[in-house]
Chain A
Amino acid sequence: MFDTRYLQEEADICIVGAGAAGGVLAKELAEAGMRVVVIEAGPFRDPQKHFASDELAMETLSWEETRIVDGGDPLRLGSNNCGKGVGGGTQHWTAVCLRFHPSDFRTYSEDGVGVDWPLAYEDLEPYYARHERELAVSGPKHFPWGAFHGPYPWPERNPLSSNAEIFQMGCQKLGIDWCVTPLVILTGPFEGRAPCTNRGFCNQGCMPNAKFSTLIVHIPKAIQAGAVVYADATVVEIEMGKDGKAKGVVFVHDGMTYRQKAKIVILSAFVVENPRLLLHSANAQFPNGLANSSGWVGKGIMVHSSDDVYAKFPEEIRFYKGSPVMASTQAFYETNPNRGFVRGYTLHAHGSRPMSMAKGIATTAGIWGRQLRELMLNYNFYGRVTVVGEVLPAPWNRVALHAEETDAHGVPKAHVTFTYGDNDKRLLEHAVKKAEEILAAAGGKPVVRTHDTAHLMGGCRMGKDPATSVVNRDCQTHDIPNLFICDASVFPTSGGGNPTHTVMAIAARTADAIKTKTVRREI
């Protein structure tokens, strides 16, 4: 049903995108008594009815519209990056819940690369801690790296999947610290939801609701507090007033165009769509796109390098069982001058279902035909380790409007350019070698490496200086006081671990900032 309660009025807050950040913002601001409208391009799904335990069918959870990819290392998008629908990427994420390390916020000061954030680890610490409690994060008693050493509020997963057991064996043989991965996946009943049943389909959407997503947690709470969600509604423009402030947004639902007015507009439409909307909404006052006086809108996008190493074992592993990631190491996270590169990475034991394994191997490892089939006949004998490697920001990695092609609504398609830098490449080679060593120490024979990336970030980075950044530390655009951008796109650097815990911490902090500024009438 299309609930148009706020359509005729001016809402206090209009949030574009109901993903990881949008969900948190909606709940926090609605619970503070604000009149919140969330506009989400994709559907409002019911996990029990609309999810299925099927890889191919559930590709629809992702943003499948065509983006033009370019550069030395063109990105694979779709199921690999972006969600579509209430819950956004959290519908199909793996639920690995890691905090960033303090050094991630100071890469320029510490290593002379990237830029420093206008936030420090300590600014996000209370929000990390709150989410871990509120979302029942399960994890080890002792987490060996970074600033937070546990214990996590909920007990770690037990038993481990076979692939995690192998990872553990390999690490132990080599003397590498490892731990059971912190996950936003229930290890016990919580708020009427049941614990994980190990079916392994986290990336296809969790049917039993054991895995956290904003679809099943934040959005229902936001609605309970009075927020209105327009689903299947694509925002195509941000409307500006003559006073230089945002008036609201224009969106399309079921072929009809509507306008939603709001006192504050927050873009949480992810790394590609935020810059696309800002650039497309250019007008006489903002000819280069909204919030773009610095010229940084769309620039500095980052991924994580995320190659996989498969090793064949003499015995069956069956890595289709259990949530895909259950064991990890961050032993190579911080800069070590002896390694020939700066910054670092996380390694995860990472299970896989047949479709993504076969497709990854066929399309990135150059294995096809009989060789592919023979390799896949041994599906049950493989173990896998996946890299999450830091990638440094560069202005040439960017989202721009495509010069010729437009989408069904007449908005230019996104033109996404990406090329790894030298440090990124050296870091990735080191990580892949370590992954191979771990699998070999556990008794496997590394046979295939597939190329992949994960986790888009950047494109509307936060910073102190309006000349080199798009938003301030509160995610408020430097140029337009009532226009906020809040999600993975505000990351100035990428860190070496999964980013969404940080996305949600930033969103909760931004909600607090908006509440304070509104009370003080600063917006």
Chain B
Amino acid sequence: MPVKEGYYTKFDVMQSLPEWDSHTREIVQQRLHGSDTYANLTIIEAEILKSLCQHMTGEERPDVIQYAVTHLDQQSAAAKGESQRKAGTPPLGKLIANGLQAFELSVRGECIVSFLELEAGKQLEIVQKIRQGHYDRHSCWLERNISPNVWFQKLLGIFTEAVYSHPVVWSEIGYAGPAYPRGYVRVGLHDIDPWEAIMDV
């Protein structure tokens, strides 16, 4: 059982599963059984992305991180479109893959070893440098026509949407989640339905 840090250590949103409609149930249950086969990513890329996900979202539970990386893989493989893409930015699949190459090259250039071989503190330092624009003029990014910051933002957005769609995280933050057909009865200030999270005392 993952360690929780929030206010609601006894709450498990999945206990309400029988109360949800079957479509929602199916979608949420699938997230708990995150697969580790990828459409686009190599195993090494997936491992780098897992550490990046951890640093970018502050999430540490392996199951949640695994789900976030599979979600990213699916997004970049899907033909459905990206809703919007900034002018001058390559399509998602290319952005992620080429960005990962540029990222590894930057790390190797600076630290000699791969990102995966660095200790956590050093890894975080590198991620912070990306954010601060440290690598913006590095040739390994420029050659691939990728802005480190755009790459960072894209990963962060996709990881975040996955992490906060995971029922383990819902339980931790005390979000009572899907509610069809039963809905919520007590909605006003200080009103709590019996199936909602109760704070630890």
Contacts and interface: CB of A to CB of B under 8 A. Distances in A.
B189 A166 contact: yes
A70 B59 contact: no
Contacts of B172: 377
A77 B175 contact: no
A368 to B, nearest CB: 5
Nearest to A169: B189
A365 to B, nearest CB: 11
Interface in B105-134: 124, 127, 131
B153 to A, nearest CB: 6
The DSSP consensus for interface residues of chain B is: loop
A293 interface: no
B137 interface: no
Contacts of B162: 56
A8 interface: no
Nearest to B176: A320
B182 A197 contact: yes
Contact of A359 (B24, B161, B190): B161
Interface string A195-218: 011111100000110000000000
A326 to B, nearest CB: 9
A362 interface: yes
A115 interface: no
Interface in A47-69: 48-57, 60, 62-69
B15 interface: no
B180 A62 contact: no
Nearest to B157: A363
A376 B173 contact: yes
Interface string A27-54: 0000000000000000000001111111
Interface residues of A, number: 69
Contact of A64 (B81, B165, B173, B187): B81
Nearest to B199: A316
Given A159-B188, A353-B175, A376 B82 contact: no
Interface in B11-42: 20-21, 23-24, 27-28
Contacts of A426: none
Most chain B CB inside 10 Å of its own CB: which residue of A63, A198, A380: A380
Contacts of A56: 161-162, 165
A416 B162 CA distance: 27
Nearest to A383: B189
B83 A62 contact: yes
Contacts of A416: 84
Given A67-B84, A159-B188, A368-B156, A354 B175 contact: yes
17 contacts: A66-B81, A67-B84, A69-B86, A77-B84, A78-B82, A162-B191, A197-B181, A198-B183, A199-B178, A354-B169, A354-B175, A357-B164, A359-B160, A368-B58, A368-B156, A376-B164, A376-B173
Interface of A: 48-57, 60, 62-70, 74-79, 159-162, 165-166, 196-201, 207-208, 315-318, 320-322, 353-355, 357-359, 362-363, 368-374, 376-377, 379-380, 408, 415-416
Interface of B: 5-7, 20-21, 23-24, 27-28, 55-59, 79-87, 91, 124, 127, 131, 153, 156-157, 160-165, 169-170, 172-185, 187-192, 196-197, 199
